[in-house]
Chains A and B, each alone.
Chain A
Amino acid sequence: MSEERPVIRLEHVSKTFEGETVLRDVCLDIHNGEFLTILGPSGCGKTTLLRLIAGFESPTDGDVIIDGRSMRDVPPNGRKVNTVFQSYALFPHMTVFDNVSFGLRMSKVPEAEIKDRVLQALRMVGLSGQAGRRPGSLSGGQQQRVAIARAVVNRPLVLLLDEPLSALDYKLRIQMRTELKQLRREMGITFIFVTHDQEEAFSMSDRVVVMNEGCVAQVGTPVEVYEQPVNMFVARFVGETNIFEGVAGQIEGGTLHALVEGRKCDLSSRRGFKPGDRIRVLLRPEDLLVEREVPEDDEKLWLPGLITETVYKGSTWDMIVRLDSGNEVLVTEFFDEDAEKMNFQAGERVFVSWFDGWEVVLPHEDDEPV
């Protein structure tokens, strides 16, 4: 895929609003046909990035290249991308049919073809019978579908979606995720989806771009981003994370001899650390193991602690363990047949470890409080 020319390329794009930098030197290639999600907290610049691609804003520095052409000074109506807005932005004075046909009318498509394409688009989003209605008389989910039909009927190279599911209720949101994925597969066009919801991002995307404070923090598949976060921000933003403090020692091959929570421990890491570097060991709650007694002949590091809280969640059992070092960790155990192991109670003394090699070792970032 990477040898192909990217459908969109962002070249060192920066954006400043009245002296405030919103995007800083963003470089990104978006490949044809992929479902790319831009994920980040509010104010990280993700919507601005989308608006730069759509043409509603122009970059202060750098260039947006769509289909091999520089988009400098090309207005939104000259770009082969279409947007689904967060507020849907349906034209209230037009029927559903007129809304969907708007783009085709603007590009002077013959009337007979307009009718075919609009009806086909409405069929695709399951709104065949609603062509004559006004957007105001439709439900939120239906309006959402009209907005999608109105965009895709123009057969854009790329469909831009700006938090389109945020206004829907939970059940509909889950349903729309699946529908969007299917829709993309049917149409084969590139989707760029902006969201602050990591679950949404992970459940739909081929690749995720995590953004923070105007910069791209990490680009990768959902699995890569979740399991191999490149820094503390990404680790914290995508899901729960437990952090153990440590100091690096010697490296031998892929093994890093280190001190974790004051105890000797071997970690696997491909990063280069110098002996004496402060490090952080990150573990997801489901990566942690809890036992009442340290198993015999186990070389792993087992950290003693006290269970302070247990939370039953249906399919999982969460525990908060206060380690003797003072660090509090969250452990998630999945139910299995071995039922008695589950019966941990608050107040029990336990030992915590993790599956070999599941840890992520990052350098200590001083500016980030734990």
Chain B
Amino acid sequence: MSMLRRLLGLLPVYVFLYLPIAVLITFAFNDSKYSVSWKGFTWKWFGKLLENTQLMDAAVNSLTVAVLSASAATVLGVLAAVALYRYRFQGKRLMQSALFVVMVSPDIVMGVALLVLFMTLGLKPGFLTLFLAHTTFCLPFVTVTVSSRLAGFDGHLLEAAQDLGAGEFRAFRHVLLPMLFPAVLAGWLLSFTLSMDDVIISFFVTGPEFDILPLRVYSMVRLGVKPDVNALSAIMFGLTVVIVFTSQLLLRRKR
């Protein structure tokens, strides 16, 4: 009873948070091209979505960049977290705060900064620049996720591995990595979602011949919201929810 009352009390919060998304998903199934009124249920916008080759190409590009940059960021981020945990070195403090700076700095600043950097280096805006940029802004999130798990890690476990004949690498491979695995995977999934929906930084660093999903959608809605965009958004939302839940579950288990 009191549980129900508490849920009812929280209802306004849920409405506030999720009403926009609920509306969007509803209209993805609305059998009307322009009207905002309900004209009946349909799957046809999902079908139209598949026929839109421009959009599908952009989606493939986005997935490619997301998978690659999430993987690169995970490798680098895990190494950074382990280095920060294991070793004492000059500039350790600086590195820790530098990671936070990247995390909190406004996207627009990051975007402009990366654009200027790539131009100075003479890199052509396109896949490579996008990949590098996404890796950069995902990396601190992986490091923070992995570091928080390392904080409760018994350092004697690594010593035990070394004592039993494992060198640095095998101690990492057989003891540290398996125990960090949930955090590593969670970091990867977080990076994947961050990369998938980034608009601002991507806007600066990608070129005309490499279109990605968020930017494609952005240019589509400038001419008005079409139902196939609603359908696309519904799919992306579903995907995100699955990923977030998975990463949360992974982090909670074995804690």
Contact = CB atoms under 8 A, between A and B. Distances in A.
A54 B159 CA distance: 10
Contacts of B163: 54-56, 76-77, 81-83, 151
Interface stretch (A101-109, A204-212, A214-222): A101-109
Interface in A61-106: 75-77, 81-83, 85-87, 89-93, 102-103, 106
Nearest to B157: A89
B159 A102 contact: no
A103 B175 contact: no
Contacts of A56: 159, 162-163
Contacts of A75: 162, 167
B156 A103 contact: no
B157 A77 contact: no
B162 A76 contact: yes
Nearest to A160: B163
A92 B179 contact: yes
A107 B165 contact: yes
Interface residues of A, number: 24
A82 B164 CA distance: 7
Nearest to B177: A93
Interface in B113-168: 154, 156-157, 159-167
B164 A102 contact: yes
A77 B174 CA distance: 14
A77 B154 contact: no
A239 B177 CA distance: 47
A219 B133 CA distance: 64
Q: Provide the main secondary structure of the chain B interface.
A: helix
Interface residues of B, number: 17
B89 to A, nearest CB: 15
A87 B153 CA distance: 12
A103 B178 CA distance: 17
Contacts of A86: 156
Q: Which of B154, B160, B162, B167 has the most CB of A within 10 A?
A: B160
A150 interface: yes
A93 B178 contact: yes
Interface string B159-202: 11111111100100011001100000000000000000000000
A107 B162 CA distance: 12
Nearest to B170: A106
A241 interface: no
A190 interface: no
A353 B98 CA distance: 73
Q: Which of A86, A103, A150 has the most CB of B within 10 A?
A: A103
Contacts of A93: 178-179
Given A75-B162, A76-B163, A91-B175, 17 more contacts: A54-B159, A54-B163, A76-B162, A77-B163, A77-B166, A82-B164, A85-B156, A87-B154, A89-B160, A93-B178, A102-B166, A103-B165, A106-B164, A106-B165, A106-B170, A107-B165, A151-B163
Interface of B: 154, 156-157, 159-167, 170, 174-175, 178-179
Interface of A: 54-56, 75-77, 81-83, 85-87, 89-93, 102-103, 106-107, 150-151, 154
